[in-house]
Amino acid sequence: MRKIGTGYTNYFNKKYERVGSLFQGKYKSVRIATEQHLIHLPYYIHMNPLDMIAPKWRQKEITNYHKALLFLESYRWSSHSDYIGKKNFPSVTQRDFLLKLFDGIPNYKKSFIQWLKERDLENIGDDITLEH
């Protein structure tokens, strides 16, 4: 990853006549050890754009899940729309494996919405649970 990051940074800096780093911090990786972990990973990745409108979503502090869901469905720079069956500009993701794991697009969308609702303070009120 360091080699890829360095190569791309050099290319980008030369192309745009700039200097300095492009990426913040070191590359991090986490081993996926269980199916449970694998199932939550696409949700987490697809929710990352919420940092722009609900920076505390990781602490389960979404105040309006409906607004968050609409934002995620319309955010072009994520593969989320591809996973829920909305056509995005040319898709570059391979979704077959995960969609098979979730038993298709409708089930992925349903489980994603449920996962998002669990982070909605208006929806859960005081009944907030901690993740492992």
Question: Could you tell me if 39 and 25 lie in one domain?
Answer: no
Question: Could you tell me if 19 and 35 lie in one domain?
Answer: no
Contacts of 62 (CB under 8 A, 6+ apart): 50, 54, 56, 68, 116, 119, 120, 121
Split into its structural domains, the chain has a count of 2
The mean pLDDT of 13-29, rounded to a whole number, is 87
Question: Could you tell me if 40 and 80 lie in one domain?
Answer: yes
Question: Could you tell me if 61 and 111 lie in one domain?
Answer: yes
pLDDT tens profile 62-114: 888 889 999 999 998 999 988 998 888 777 788 888 899 899 999 999 999 98
Provide the pLDDT for residue 56: 87
> In which domain, by residue range, is 22 found?
1-29
Tokens read off for 34? 């269980």
Q: In this structure, which amino acid lies at residue 99?
A: L
Question: Could you tell me if 71 and 61 lie in one domain?
Answer: yes
Question: Could you tell me if 35 and 59 lie in one domain?
Answer: yes
The candidate with the shortest Cα–Cα distance to 65, out of 99, 112, 130, is: 112
- Which region among 37-41, 49-53, 64-68 has the lowest average model confidence (pLDDT)? 37-41
Burial grade of 50 (CB within 10 A; 0-12, 13-18, 19 or more): buried
